[in-house]
Structures are given as C-alpha cells and as structure tokens.
C-alpha cells in the first residue's frame, strides 16, 4: 500500500468507570488515502466516535485512555504526541465536524469570529486577511450573503446553516483530513442531502480525505469509497463500499442492511437485529455478535474471530465467512 494519509493500527481505547474498565475501541485498524472517503458504520456505542476522538487526541481523560496501537498521520505517530504538537495539527491539518450543529457553535461569539479564530491561530494572518478568508469560506460552504452572516451570532442561524458554518470552521486551514462525526444525523432529510453533496464537492475541490462516521448506511452508500463496520468496539468488516453492498460477509452487516427500507422489494416489516449490544464491561467469551447472530454455531463461543480476507480487499471477522448464500 502506498503511504497512507492516516493509518490506524490495533488502536485500543479504554474507559475507567465505577463498574470497571471497558474497551470502547478494541484493536481497530484501518487506513485512509488522500482524497478518499472512509465510512465508519455501526450502531450507537460501538466505538465510532471514540475512534474519531482518539485520532484527534480529544478522548476525555480521565476517564478515557488510549492503551495501545498506533495512529500515523502522514507518517507521524500521533499517540504520545506533545500537547503543543497536537494543537498545531488540530484545526490545521485535521479538522472535525460534530453531530449537533445547534450546540457546536459558541453562543457568545459571532460566526465570523469563530471561523476566523483557527485561521489567525494557525497561520498568523492579520484581522483583515482572516475576515476576507472567512467570508470566502462561508461562500464556499454555500451560505447565502456571507458578508452579513459574518457578523451574526449562532442563534440567528438554522441547523443546516450552523452545520455549514461548522464545516467552514473545520475547513478554515484546508485540512488534509476531515473527520465528520454524524454530520447529518441532527438535520432533516433535505438538508442532509445538501450537506452530503457539499462535503463531496469540497472533497473534490480540495483533495482532502474524509472520515465519515455514521449509523446510516444510505449515507455510506452515497459518500464512501471504503467502509469499516464496527460492532462493540471491534472492526467486524472492512471492504470497498461497492463490494460491501454487493456481498456483505458479516452477519451483522447483513442484519444492518436488512433494516433499511427499500423501494424495490416487497416488504411487510423491516428486519430488525434482535437483542442488544453486549455490555462492554463484561464481554462474553467468543464472538461478540454471537448472541444476536442467526448464523451462530457452537464454535462461535470458543474464540473471538479475527478479521480474515474473504475476497480481494474485503475482510470480515466471522468464522463462517465467506457465507455461502443459500
């Protein structure tokens, strides 16, 4: 593989709680090339967001700690990086947008101030230059009349506009990597589509890589080149997006796809995945998905299956993969 922009290897992040330690992220590995989009899918609490925070060095500590693995960003190891070095990367080389646009902007400052802050901090430009570039950014994220919005306080903007402002903020220093943590979850569907379209356009314009975290397979299908499916802190399937949708190999992925409404099939009810995500503090032995898996056999209780290649570039962590489609 050529030099990746981001290479995460066996990353493990633990949290200490009163009930004990639990691994929110368990030996997660993936890599991301320049100009590509990596989708990370999974249900709530599967470790998607903690993976993102680990990369950004923002895991709240205490109680969270990165306990192992490596994160290499353009060849530089991020784990154990000094605070100063990390601060010079964040917002500059890597940007992040959050799920909740309504609360992600500081109510005490104007939109322009907040976006310009990163530019001034990382590139030591003058006030006037930062203002010019901020207005340019607002225009690039398709915010109408950016000169007026520059002086607006966040409460004057709607959710979609705020998310655009957040994207502008994350893009302020032309990052190489943009981590988007559920960027459209809190928005209604028409705005969702606009934001996704905007992200795709910006990626094409700037050549940045996007790490897109979502629980929405529809978003993945639209945006991602590669997909990582996570379950209970582990990567259980990794494949190019097309291959994943054509032939999902892990029973969990199959289950996720069964729970999307489709127009081309006659369906009475959506198939749900029965049961719940196991408690990460006291994980059962064997495969984590076993209790909910319709394909489980006795051997699944023996050990946690590793990721194995089932087809070129397509890996799944299931003893029974590749599944023969009956």
* List of residues contacting another protein (CB under 8 A): 56, 58, 62, 83-84, 86-92, 95-96, 98, 100, 103-109, 117-118, 121-122, 142, 144-145, 155-158, 160-161, 166, 169-170, 172, 191, 194
- Give the integer Cα–Cα distance in Å for 296 and 7: 32
CB 23 within 8 A of CB 32: no
CB closer to another protein, 5 vs 161 = 161
Kindly provide the b/e burial profile for residues 285-311, where b requires at least 16 CB atoms within 10 angstroms of the residue's own CB. ebbbbbbbbeebeeebeeebbebeebe
Instruction: Select 117 or 216, whichever has its Cβ closest to another protein.
Output: 117
The least distance separating another protein from the CB of residue 175, rounded to whole angstroms, comes to: 10
Supply 2's token pair: 């050529």
- How far apart are CB 90 and another protein at their closest, in Å? 4
Closer residue to another protein (CB): 44 or 83? 83
The residue among 182 and 226 lying less far from another protein, judged by its C-beta, is 182
Q: Is 124 exposed, middle or buried (0-12, 13-18, 19+ CB in 10 A)?
A: exposed
- What's the rounded Cα separation, in Å, for the pair 4 and 211? 13
**Nearest approach, Cβ of 171 to another protein (angstroms)?**
11
Which residues does 21 contact at the CB level (< 8 Å), separation at least 6?
14, 15, 281
For residue 184, the minimal CB distance to another protein (Å) is 15
Q: Give min distance, CB of 131 to another protein, in A.
A: 17
Closer CB to another protein, residue 15 or residue 289?
Answer: 15
């Amino acid at each position: 593989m050529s030099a990746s922009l981001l290479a995460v290897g066996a990353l493990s992040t633990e949290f200490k709680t009163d009930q004990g330690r639990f691994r929110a992220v368990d030996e997660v590995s993936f890599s991301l090339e320049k100009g590509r989009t990596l989708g990370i899918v999974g249900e709530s609490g599967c470790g998607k967001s903690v993976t993102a925070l680990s990369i950004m060095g923002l895991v709240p500590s205490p109680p969270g700690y990165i306990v192992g693995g490596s994160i290499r960003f353009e060849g530089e190891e991020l784990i154990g990086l000094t605070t100063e070095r990390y601060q010079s990367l964040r917002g500059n080389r890597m940007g992040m947008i959050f799920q909740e646009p309504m609360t992600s902007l500081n109510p005490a400052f104007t939109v322009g101030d907040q976006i310009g802050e990163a530019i001034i901090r990382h590139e030591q430009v003058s006030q006037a230059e930062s203002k010019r570039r901020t207005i340019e950014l607002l225009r690039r994220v398709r915010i109408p009349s950016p000169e007026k919005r520059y002086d607006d306080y966040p409460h004057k903007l709607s959710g979609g506009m705020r998310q655009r402002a957040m994207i502008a903020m994350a893009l302020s220093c032309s990052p190489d990597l943009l981590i988007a943590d559920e960027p459209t979850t809190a928005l209604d569907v028409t705005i969702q589509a606009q934001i996704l379209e905007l992200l795709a356009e910006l990626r094409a314009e700037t050549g940045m890589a996007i790490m897109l975290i979502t629980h929405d397979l529809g978003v993945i299908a639209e945006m991602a080149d590669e997909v990582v499916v996570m379950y209970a802190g582990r990567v259980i399937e990794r494949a190019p997006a097309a291959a994943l949708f054509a032939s999902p190999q892990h029973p969990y992925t199959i289950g996720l796809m069964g729970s999307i409404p489709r127009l081309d099939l006659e369906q009475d009810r959506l198939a749900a995945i029965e049961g719940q995500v196991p408690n990460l503090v006291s994980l059962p032995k064997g495969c984590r998905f076993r209790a909910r898996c319709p394909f489980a056999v006795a051997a699944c209780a023996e050990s946690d299956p590793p990721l194995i290649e089932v087809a070129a570039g397509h890996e799944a962590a299931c003893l029974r993969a590749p599944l023969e489609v009956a």
